[in-house]
Amino acid sequence: MKWIFNHKPRISNRKSQIANPTPCWLALLVALTVALPCSANDSHTTFFMGRLLYGDNDGRDCSGVGHDLMELVSKTSTLQVQDERRIHLTDPALFDTPFVFMNGHYNFVLSDAELSDLRKYLDHGGFVFASGCCSEPGFPKAWRREFSRIFPHEEVRSVPPRQPDLPLVLQAGAYPVPGPTARCSIGRPVSSWQTGGRHVPRWPLLRL
């Protein structure tokens, strides 16, 4: 009989018992499992991670993070994913990439064009995952400031540990994976925007 497995399935509804949703590496790992089982060399694969180039950032902060993530996913699941692609915020390819990752150390400023594209990207269902590097305070501060410009009327707040409507990638904190090997400062509470009852979760960055 197929589809019967030894591991206990996880439940992601209101009745589910969700373990600690942090750390974010685990969440990111599950996000990466939102992918088709395909060869890393398969040009037709449906999943890849986009690495955002934004403002003055050239995408080289902690540059091995993307590769580490892919490797982690490959080791812990049957899924195979492509290597990350570097995408600028104003690149049309952004709208072909449903999952993007951004990180950095320092302060940054987004242009109006970048903000416009980012707003549309998020409104259309895109996911931005962000992480500050090496506990530098400049990046998280700049991130809150710049992302507040995307949704100026929305509030950034912490998400409760058992937030029922968190998206899959942030709910699966109990996913059985090896311990996180992040080089950057992670482990802060998951945050989200809330507007009119709609949660836009992020850690330290943005939403599914």
Q: Which residues bind other proteins (CB under 8 A)?
A: 1-7, 9-13, 15-16, 33-38, 44, 46-47, 76-79, 92, 94-96, 98, 117, 120-121, 123-126, 168, 172, 208
Question: Which amino acid makes up residue 42?
Answer: D
Residue 9 CB, shortest distance to other proteins, in Å, is 5
Residue 94 CB, shortest distance to other proteins, in Å, is 8
Q: What are phi and psi of 173, to 5 degrees?
A: -65, -20
Please say which residue, 172 or 184, places its beta carbon nearer to other proteins.
Answer: 172
Please say which residue, 35 or 69, places its beta carbon nearer to other proteins.
Answer: 35
Residues 201 and 127: their CA atoms lie apart, in Å, by 10
Residue 160 CB, shortest distance to other proteins, in Å, is 19
Residues 191 and 207: their CA atoms lie apart, in Å, by 10
Please say which residue, 63 or 111, places its beta carbon nearer to other proteins.
Answer: 111
Please say which residue, 38 or 115, places its beta carbon nearer to other proteins.
Answer: 38
Measuring CA to CA, how many Å separate 96 from each of 18, 21, 99, 105, 182? 31, 28, 9, 27, 27
* Residue carrying structure tokens 């937030």: 163
Quote the tokens at residue 103. 């990180």
By the 8 A CB rule, do 49 and 103 touch?
Answer: no
Please say which residue, 106 or 151, places its beta carbon nearer to other proteins.
Answer: 151
Residue 51 CB, shortest distance to other proteins, in Å, is 17
- Please state the separation of Cα 132 from the chain's center in Å: 12
By the 8 A CB rule, do 51 and 193 touch?
Answer: no
Quote the tokens at residue 59. 């995408």
Residue 41 CB, shortest distance to other proteins, in Å, is 15
Please say which residue, 62 or 169, places its beta carbon nearer to other proteins.
Answer: 169
Residue 203 CB, shortest distance to other proteins, in Å, is 18
